[in-house]
Chain A
Amino acid sequence: AQSVSQHNHHVILSEAASLELGCNYSYGGTVNLFWYVQYPGQHLQLLLKYFSGDPLVKGIKGFEAEFIKSKFSFNLRKPSVQWSDTAEYFCAVLNNAGNMLTFGGGTRLMVKP
């Protein structure tokens, strides 16, 4: 069975600080990995995705993530956060059939102005 772990449940940063959110997955098949963001009162939005190829993927709003197969990790990074990045972030893995996402528990990020 596939599983996703996000180690940081709550993160508080000041504006301009660098961000790294951890994500580890457990899955034996071909990995399709995602980071979604849920801003307060809004729906889940796709930040970035990894299907294959370059393990460093860039997403919207200056976010990037690196797929490290040997570590089963897909950590999310941003060099300089803004107050508007305050949200909950979810890492997810797609199953082999491509029809089910398994999500991590989420990380609540608060950015202080």
Chain B
Amino acid sequence: KAGVTQTPRYLIKTRGQQVTLSCSPISGHRSVSWYQQTPGQGLQFLFEYFSETQRNKGNFPGRFSGRQFSNSRSEMNVSTLELGDSALYLCASSLQGAPGYEQYFGPGTRLTVT
């Protein structure tokens, strides 16, 4: 079974631009979560989607948004990029997104904002 895939793997953007990252979960998984990984803040939860609905959101500004499609694929968008948005963005999928179910992570998208 194919793992979680994320595209693109690397991205360089300029301050003020916007960016869209894509995540394809493991086949059959309905929950998709997004995390930001930085050297200073570590791994932080952004949001989680299940059946096209956002069920949980972390403590990030409204510039960070996401959505999930009917095939469970998910995208996250960051508008008005800031230097501090430079990070590795990780997507994780889970069969149910419920207690007793683990999350499987993709390779991440490395975003650099200049």
Is A44 on the interface with B (CB-CB < 8 A)?
yes
Report how far A36 CA is from B90 CA in the complex, Å: 13
A: number of interface residues (CB 8 Å)? 26
Q: Which of A44, A49, A90, A96 has the most CB of B within 10 A?
A: A44
Write out, one digit per residue, whether chain A residues 43-59 have a CB within 8 A of any chain B CB (1) or not (0): 11110010100000000
In the complex, what distance in Å separates the CA atom of A28 from the CA atom of B106? 29
Chain B residues whose C-beta falls within 8 Å of the C-beta of A94 in the assembled complex: 99, 103
Cβ contact within 8 Å between B105 and A96: no
B64 CB–A CB distance under 8 Å: no
Nearest residue (CB) in A for B57 is: A100
Q: How many A-B residue pairs have CB under 8 A?
A: 67
List of A residues within 8 angstroms of B103 by Cβ: 94, 101
- C-alpha gap A104/B42 in the complex (Å): 8
B42, B45, B100, B103: which has the most chain A beta carbons within 10 Å? B103
Q: For A32, give its contact among B44, B58, B96, B100 (CB under 8 Å).
A: B100
Q: Name the residue of chain B whose CB is nearest to the CB of A51.
A: B100
8 Å CB contacts to B: which residues of A1-41? Answer: 30, 32, 34, 36
CB-contact partner of A98 in B99, B104, B107, under 8 A:
B99
A102 at the interface (CB under 8 A from B): yes
For A95-109 the 0/1 string (1 means CB < 8 A from B) is 111111111111000
A90-B43, A102-B45 known; A97 vs B98 contact (CB < 8 Å): yes
B25 at the interface (CB under 8 A from A): no
Query: Chain A contacts of B33 at CB under 8 A?
Result: 99-101
Chain A residues at the B interface, C-beta cutoff of 8 Å: 30, 32, 34, 36, 42-46, 49, 51, 90, 92, 94-106
B contact set with A: CB distance below 8 Å: 31, 33, 35, 42-45, 48, 50, 55-56, 58, 90, 92, 94, 96-108
